[in-house]
C-alpha cells in the first residue's frame, strides 16, 4: 500500500459541538476500499503542553487536581491547553507559572506525542524546564483548584509503579524525560 492509498478522503465536515471545553467535528469520509463512513467524529484541539520541571535541588513540581471526566483527584505534571495564537513553548511557560508558581530560565522541547489519533487531532508537546524556581503564587483559572507537591526526582519511578501517577500521557512523559536524563534511550521523533 502506498502512502496515497492509506488516507481517508473527507467529503463533508461539520462542527457539531463548539464550547470552551469541547469542539467536536462530524466527518463523512470515503475509504480507499470504496466504503463510506457517514458519521466519523473527531475531537478538535489546539493541543496541550506538559512540563517536566526540575528544581536546582532535584525536585519535580507535580500538581494534584480534580478531573471531572473520571470524577477523581489525580497527580500529574503541570499541563494545559495551548491558547489560540500561542506557541506550544509559550503555553508551557504560562502553564508552569500559572499552575505551580514556578519559572525556569529556559525550556527544552523533548517530544511531541499523538494522544488519541483515532478520535482526536490533539498533540501533547513535552518540555523539560531545568532549574525551575518559585516566582510567586499560582495564577489559577477560576475553575482550577491545584495543590503543588515537590517530589524528589529519584522518587518518581516509585509513584509510577504504585499507581499514584496514572494519567497515561503523563506516565509516558515522565518515562520519556527520565530516560533522556539518564541517557538510556534515544529521543523519540519530533512530530509535526
pLDDT of residue 4: 54
Handedness of CA 139, 97, 63, 131 (dihedral sign): negative
pLDDT of residue 160: 93
pLDDT of residue 111: 96
pLDDT in tens, the chain (192 residues): 565 557 899 999 999 999 988 999 999 999 999 999 999 999 999 999 999 999 999 999 999 999 999 999 999 999 999 999 999 999 999 999 999 999 999 999 999 999 999 999 999 999 999 999 999 887 777 888 889 999 999 999 999 999 999 999 999 999 999 999 888 444 454 544
The HSE-up count of residue 53 (CA atoms within 13 Å, CB side) is 32
- Say whether 97 sits in a helix, a strand or coil: helix
- CA end-to-end distance (rounded Å), the chain: 23
pLDDT of residue 189: 47
pLDDT of residue 140: 76
- The pTM score is 0.87
- Range list for CATH 3.90.79.10 in the chain: 48-186
On whether the 48-186 domain is CATH 3.90.79.10, my answer is yes
What is the Cα–Cα distance from 190 to 106, expressed in whole angstroms? Answer: 19
User: Could you give the C-alpha distances from 132 to 40, 105, 114, 156, 163, in angstroms and in order?
Assistant: 43, 7, 27, 17, 26
Amino acid at each position: 500500500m502506498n502512502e496515497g492509498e492509506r488516507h481517508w478522503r473527507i467529503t463533508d465536515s461539520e462542527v457539531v459541538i463548539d464550547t470552551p471545553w469541547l469542539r467536536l467535528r462530524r466527518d463523512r469520509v470515503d475509504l480507499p476500499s470504496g466504503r463510506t463512513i457517514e458519521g466519523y467524529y473527531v475531537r478538535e484541539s489546539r493541543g496541550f503542553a506538559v512540563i517536566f520541571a526540575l528544581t536546582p535541588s532535584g525536585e519535580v513540581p507535580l500538581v494534584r487536581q480534580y478531573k471531572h471526566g473520571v470524577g477523581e483527584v489525580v497527580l500529574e505534571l503541570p499541563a494545559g491547553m495551548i491558547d489560540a495564537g500561542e506557541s506550544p513553548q509559550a503555553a508551557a511557560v504560562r502553564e508552569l507559572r500559572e499552575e505551580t508558581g514556578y519559572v525556569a530560565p529556559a525550556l527544552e522541547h523533548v517530544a511531541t506525542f499523538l494522544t488519541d489519533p483515532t478520535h482526536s487531532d490533539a498533540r501533547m508537546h513535552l518540555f523539560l524546564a531545568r532549574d525551575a524556581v518559585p516566582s510567586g503564587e499560582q495564577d489559577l483559572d477560576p475553575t482550577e483548584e491545584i495543590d503543588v507537591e515537590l517530589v524528589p526526582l529519584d522518587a518518581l519511578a516509585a509513584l509510577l509503579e504504585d499507581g499514584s501517577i496514572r494519567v497515561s500521557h503523563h506516565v509516558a512523559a515522565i518515562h520519556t524525560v527520565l530516560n533522556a536524563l539518564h541517557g538510556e534511550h534515544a529521543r523519540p521523533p519530533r512530530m509535526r
